[in-house]
Amino acid sequence: MSDKNESYMQTALKLAQRGIGSVEPNPAVGAVLVKANQVIGKGWHREFGGPHAEINALENCKTLGVNPRGATMYVSLEPCCHQAKTGPCTEAIIAAGLVKVVVATIDPSEHANGKGIEQLRNAGVEVVVGVCETQARLLNAPFFKFTATGKTWVILKWAQSIDSKVAYTDKSRERRWISGEQSRKDVHKLRRRAGAILVGINTVIADDPLLTARPVRSPHRKSTGALQGLTSNGARPSKGKKATRIVLDSHLRIPLDCKLLATTKEAPVLILTSQQTLRAHSQIVEKVNQKGAEVLAYPDAPARSNLYFLTSELAKRGIAQLLVEGGPTVIASFLKQRLADEIVVYITPKILGAQGGVGINPPMAELTEAVDLYNVDIKRFGDDVRLTGLSKKALDEISICP
């Protein structure tokens, strides 16, 4: 039975994954309905504000013309019992007459934290908790960290050639990016996860980036066989959550005509500078403010570091995930200050040699401690290879032993 439990939960976890990049800051959740050893419904939380996985699985079952009464639900997170936008899932489960719910892990949020499970048990539904728990926690690691510690999950992302260069010296024509198109598409998925995206001022001066996330692909996705009946209201394109774009700019060198400052109405822009600069350059601050961007100054002598100050500030603002897309110096600073939770590196099959500009290795050489990555995943995007992994600190924060 436990093998079967795990196999159905694996399906639920795979479904959950589909929501990543669209549901944040909610957790990604998947659900599978099983009756007489048959899967009779599948669902996942598709986008922020949309129906939860449990509701979508019940809807799917209904569309397929099957009565869920007496069925078992496998769900990757404790069902909610609070009045969310689609009503409490526990009530829907009880009303549908399910006899058993297998839950991968408890939802540590204040409004849940076992209450959903208790409600189901009180209604006579059998509940099993802890099937594929580690995997379920890793799937929503940023959510678990933020809920448990109130701290922002920090993702460091860069693309590099085999000889560890992050850009061409001459960025004209096709040489703007070193990674391939498929990798760059994947970066947009990363951006959609994040509540904030950060670069250093040198990146703004050199590349003039926009740092917005391209929306999710067409709402009319390919039909997925038995899943054709999924609720249509869950399939709207992303409402395009507006990640705050952050620039580390200690000396306020930001060009007033850059794309970031021209698009503050589309998504917020926050410039982090020092108190000293703030006092010395009040006119620039005023101009930047007029363009709709916020200037935030870290204390002259921050208790820990300016980056620590920033991540604490983001956490206070409810930002659960920060994506750092900075150049090598910025990336190395986050690593040195032990603020990195997740690392995403795209390695492109090129050796740039003398045509390569800045390299990732020189600033990394200043790291006093080696960084080991855990839960490593390697995936191909065209000819590029993406390597992802979590830091030991990240695992500690979500209470997972490597």
Q: For residue 390, what is the enclosing H or E element?
A: strand 384-390
Question: Which residues contact Zn ion by CB under 5 A?
Answer: 52, 80, 89
Work out how close the CB of 332 gets to Zn ion at its nearest, in angstroms, rounded to a whole number. Answer: 41
Q: CA 324, CA 155: separation in Å to the nearest integer? A: 6
Q: CA 138, CA 119: separation in Å to the nearest integer? A: 26
* Cβ atoms < 10 Å from Cβ of 402: 11
Question: In 162-319, at which residue ranges do the beta strands (DSSP E only) sit?
Answer: 196-200, 244-248, 269-274, 294-298
Q: Work out the angle at residue 115's Cα, subtended by the Cα atoms of residues 112 and 116, and round it to the nearest 5 degrees.
A: 80
Helix intervals (H) in 18-99: 53-63, 89-95
Q: Which of 38, 40, 245, 53 is nearest to 139 (CA)?
A: 53
Bridge partners of residue 323, in order along the sequence: 155, 197
Work out how close the CB of 87 gets to Zn ion at its nearest, in angstroms, rounded to a whole number. Answer: 8
Work out how close the CB of 85 gets to Zn ion at its nearest, in angstroms, rounded to a whole number. Answer: 9
- Give the chain's end-to-end CA distance (angstroms, integer): 27
Cβ proximity to Zn ion: between 89 and 196 the closer is 89
Work out how close the CB of 234 gets to Zn ion at its nearest, in angstroms, rounded to a whole number. Answer: 13
Cβ proximity to Zn ion: between 44 and 381 the closer is 44
Catalytic residues: 54
Cβ proximity to Zn ion: between 80 and 284 the closer is 80
Q: Tokens representing 98?
A: 């399910």
Cis bond before residue 299 (omega within 30° of 0) = no
Work out how close the CB of 261 gets to Zn ion at its nearest, in angstroms, rounded to a whole number. Answer: 40
Cβ proximity to Zn ion: between 111 and 338 the closer is 111
- DSSP designation for 240: -
